[in-house]
Structure 1
Amino acid sequence: MLPAVWDRALTELGRSEGGADTLALLVRDQDTRRLLLLRAVLDAAQGADAAICPPAEKSRLRDDWALLSEADRAGRADRARGPAGGVAASSARARLLYPLTGPWALTCLRGLDPVERPPAPQDARELRRAVAHFSALAATAAARAGIPFTAELTAHDGVLHLPSLGTLHTATAGDTAVRAVHARNRLTLRRPDAPDVTVFLEHGCGAWSGALSWTSAHALPGLVPGAPPMPLDDLAPYRSVRDDPRHRALSAPTTLDDPERKRWLQAWSGTAAALRSGGERRVAEAQALLRCLVPLEMPPDAEGPGESDGGCSATRRDAFGALLCSTPPSPVAFAATLVHELQHAKLAALSDLTTLHQAGSEARYFAPWRPDPRPFDGLLQGAYAHLGLADFFQRRALTADPAHRESAWAQHARYRAQVGATLPALVGSPHLTVRGRRFVDSMAAAYEDMSEHPAPRGHTARAQAYLKAARMLWTRRQTPSTPRLNE
């Protein structure tokens, strides 16, 4: 990559921004990694011991890969013919690049790893389920590409999930063979001793059927007029974060009922305007990076009337483009969550492209937003997310109506104070690479530029008092108490 491209990308991203070319650079790299990951699953399965992946499953995977390849070729041919074929093309490729294929593929690779000892019975069953999901992914991509096909699928424990389409529920609790036949935008699912289920593909996300055994995938309208629908994925089997130690405190994924889905729609409907109040580029950033929303349960201690009280959210490095979030209480809270989590997504994607630092994993740094010490990488991630929030709320405070201005200034003052408390450790670190130093220096410049429009003194004073209290409590927790003589 040309030095000028790197310089521009590091400077833009360090300022918590990102022009169209810079964001496209991150997206292309992540998409390439996703496609390579899919191929790695096929190769790992073909090279696995027969006790881990039997010959019949290997043959089925080769058929799945052939169907995936045909769908991708059809998509590329449609794109070459012009805009008329672009919808099918983008839908087919989008299935391969869908964020939650990342966690699924890594689940497969962990189970297929020949270095590991033979899996326990439960792990072997989970691996069979994961490998069989390849067939569902291939069938969905082919259906979205408009390819006629017949494929053999498997419903596990009474459930067959087809990504972006929906879920079929079978009458039996065990594994059930399902034959999928697709022709002319109509998918017929055939099971032994059960009526056929016919589903009709909808644009972008979802598939309609009159059968009670079918649940369609859900989507919210596009973020802005003309944008594609945004999947609200409460069905996918690989949306859990239970194996990620960084997300131990995160609520579990949930399935939404109609009232909860309406609350999501209400918050989402005003999110573009709320994002725009914090800078037009925030809308463009969300359009470029966000590909699906995964609803989480509301944390048990989520109480309070505030716009941002009580919820939880996260991004996953293995699921680029996905936002995991409990039901947002308002458009402003939803917009702030997007800013926060997309900062994490940008920095994770940049870190995949280049090494920013060579610090170890020792947790020893003070971070005002956490009660525990943080490793250097965690400190960098947190400071970067809070820098984006400080920028968002400052811009909102400068443009918002008086009813919301004071709240925005208070948020800005606190987030900027938090970033200011961590920047010395980041800027002065000997562990930064050349590119990492350029990135952190750009963060520091953005922090300094915010002083051109300072928050009112009262908000600044309260933010500093909060910061002082947080540091005192953190220091107390890290200082061992002196034992008494009689202990």
Structure 2
Amino acid sequence: MLPQVPDRALAELGRTEGGTDTLALLVRDQDTRRLLLLRAVLDAADAADPAVCSAGQKARLRDDWALLAEADRAAPAGRRGAEATEGDAVSPARALLLQPLTGPWAVSCLRGLAPGAGPADDERIRELRRALAHFGALVTVAAARAGIPVTTRLTARDGVLSLPSLGALHTAGSGDVSVEVDARDGRLTLRQTDAPDVVVFLESRFGAWSGAPAWTPAHALPGLTSGAAPMPLDDLDPYRAVCGGPRHHTLSGPATLDDVERKRWLQAWSGTAAALRSGGGHRLTEALALLRCLVPLEMPPGADGRGGCSATRREAFGALLSSTPPSPVAFAGTLVHELQHAKLAALSDMVTLHQSAADARYFAPWRPDPRPYDGLLQGAYAHLGLADFFQRRALTGEPAHRESAWAQHARYRAQVGAVLPALVGSPHLTVRGRQFVDEMVAAHERMAAHPAPRGHTARAQAYLKSSRTLWTQRQSTSLPPNG
């Protein structure tokens, strides 16, 4: 049974907003789904054919799960992390389970364990073995954070042992290398054949340090606001890459940052809270409630320093993937855009908004290709949030930035206005879906009370007309010939 979403919460989200209670509702539901997903991995492994998941692997998983449960019970309930909702304390073990990139790992496991996943070929078994071994690394970190002594063997992947939230060990050998880990008293001793031991010391809130050249610590940016938890900047996790998906076809690959790039991230991040607040206090509120980690991407080929790419992942709730932000305002816009996608995806897990067929295709002025109804709704919702953000910046921001804000507001509002008739006119909207879309329409109409200067509006309409003409030409040339 789907959880109940109050009408008030649905209305707030339809306006691309969301108070603290509404955002906490989304977070709680996503966290519950994550815990169920993790349990599904254990059950799927237990039921898997021995040729896919051996008896030894199943026993290791059960042992790791038991240690994880012990760590969850043993950890003091006093540390508040980015994963805490409504002020509740979260144990370090639970925080690791709920960190965004644990989701893609769990999905990878389920795909490999699925009975219909394909033949048990060597490559599938190898990837599944790596995925299941990664759980041991996660559990070891949880035990270390909880103060539980543990000695275990982990497997480095292609010469890198990733320890979530701590860092990564680069092994002396290449390939998949066995590493003995002894964790106790706030430190981990990492032992491998033909290499000196590496001793790693846990930091109090995030990360771990070591003087050994073979160790790369996990990095984090300061909290978005004073008192907020550090924001992980994760360029180490092996499951941070995106594979496939209609929203991700233009994404570049994951980046490994050097000191110069980290400084650029810090420079943009340091001004992002103020930039978000300038577009409405609720934008900062939603970032604080929903954002849990940042995943850096390579700059797309041909980018001129202003362009970039970004995404969210449905299976990695709370993660934002982005190339290096050029400025705080640009990064604030990226956050607004992507967090609307995250909110709508989380809401769609709780409420059926429409029952449109996946093969229906619509014009979307922000994309060159035809979009399915769900993609159209997602895009319109994100652009509506941006139109609101930049209108508020234009009305209340500094005069020097007003013209740029008006230009962006006018373009985003025109784009949303072009697709609202298709969204509203769909016969496939559910009752609650129609309530949601009606709120989007009302939010769009309210913006007319403070219109952009005429020149910006005219240019936005010209841009829209040009986009529609090009889109129509592309569709006509892609149609098969008659007969």
Specify the TM-score bucket, using the shorter chain as the normaliser.
over 0.9
Does the CA-based 8 Å contact 1:91-1:204 persist in structure 2? no
1:138 paired with 2:135, answer no
Q: Secondary structure at the match of 2:378?
A: helix
Q: Which residue of structure 2 aligns with residue 285 of structure 1?
A: 286
What does residue 26 of structure 1 align with?
26
Aligned residue number for residue 163 of structure 2: 162
2:101 alignment partner AA? L
CA contact (8 A) 1:111 1:119 kept: no
Shift in Å at residue 375 of structure 1?
0.4
> Take 2:359 and 2:26, find their aligned partners in 1: how far apart are those partners?
28
Counterparts of 2:62 and 2:191 in 1: how far apart (Å)?
A: 22
Q: How does 1:38-437 map to 2 (within 5 A)?
A: 38-75=38-75, 89-303=90-304, 309-437=306-434
State the one-letter code of the partner of 2:399: P
Q: CA deviation at 1:99?
A: 0.5
4+ long deviations beyond 6 Å:
1-4, 481-485
The alignment-based identity, stated in percent, is 75
Change (3 A) 1:208 1:87: farther
Q: What amino acid is aligned across from residue 356 of structure 2 in structure 1?
A: A
Would the alpha carbon gap of residues 90 and 277 (structure 1) be closer, same or farther in structure 2, given more than 3 Å must change? farther
SS of the residue 1:211 aligns to: coil
2:8 corresponds to = 8
Deviates more, 1:127-136 or 1:190-199: 190-199
Residue aligned with 2:463, SS: helix
1:453 aligns with 2:450: yes
C-alpha distance in 2 between matches for 1:480 and 1:88: 58
Higher mean C-alpha deviation, range 186-195 or range 359-368: 186-195
Q: Which moved more, 1:124-133 or 1:194-203?
A: 194-203
Amino acid at match of 1:65: W
How much does 1:39 deviate?
A: 1.0
Instruction: Please report how far the alpha carbon of residue 246 of structure 1 lies from its aligned counterpart in structure 2 after TM superposition.
Output: 3.1
Q: Secondary structure at the match of 1:179?
A: strand
Q: Distance in 2 between matches of 1:196 and 1:259?
A: 30
The answer as to whether partners of 1:180 and 1:190 remain within 8 angstroms in 2 is yes
Partner SS for 2:6: helix
Cα root mean square deviation, aligned = 2.4
Given the alignment of the two structures, is residue 442 of structure 1 paired with residue 474 of structure 2, yes or no?
Answer: no
Distance 1:219 1:348 in 2: 26
How far did 1:3 drift? Answer: 11
Distance 1:103 1:276 in 2: 31
| TM-score normalised by length of structure 2 | 0.95
8 Å contact kept, 2:105–2:239: yes
> Which amino acid in 2 is paired with 1:13?
L
Q: Which range is displaced more, 463-472 or 11-20?
A: 463-472
Alpha-carbon distance in 2 for matches of 1:59, 1:482: 55
Does the 8 Å contact 2:46/2:58 carry over to 1? yes
Cα distance, 1:207 vs. partner? 0.4
Question: Cα 1:129–1:464, aligned 2, differ >3 Å: closer, same or farther?
Answer: same
* Count, aligned residues: 478
Instruction: Provide Cα deviations, 1:296-338, integer angstroms capped at 9, x if missing partner.
Output: 000012116xxxx310000011110000000000000000000
Distance 1:129 1:149 in 2: 21
Structure 1 residues 60 and 2: CA distance shift in structure 2, 3 A: closer
Q: Identify if the C-alpha distance between structure 1 residues 76 and 44 changes in structure 2 by more than 3 Å, giving closer, same or farther.
A: farther
The one-letter code of the counterpart of 1:12 is: E
| Closer/same/farther in 2, CA of residues 189 and 483 from structure 1, 3 Å limit | closer
Letter in 2 for 1:60: R
1:87 positional shift: 11
Q: Is the 8 A contact 1:72 1:89 kept in 2?
A: no
Q: C-alpha separation between the residues in 2 aligned to 1:153 and 1:176?
A: 8
Structure 1: which 5+ runs fail to align?
Answer: none
1 CA distance for matches of 2:417 and 2:15? 14
For structure 2, the residue ranges without an aligned partner over 5 or more in a row are none
Secondary structure of the corresponding residue to residue 67 of structure 2: helix
Compared with structure 1, are the counterparts of its residues 79 and 251 closer, same or farther at alpha carbon in structure 2 (3 Å cutoff)?
closer
Deviation at 1:113, TM superposition (A): 1.2
Tell me the distance in 1 between the aligned counterparts of 2:147 and 2:282: 35
**CA–CA distance in structure 1, aligned partners of residues 149 and 78 of structure 2:** 15
SS at match of 2:234: coil
**AA at the equivalent of 1:45:** A
Tell me if the contact between 1:91 and 1:141 (Cα under 8 Å) persists in the aligned partners.
yes
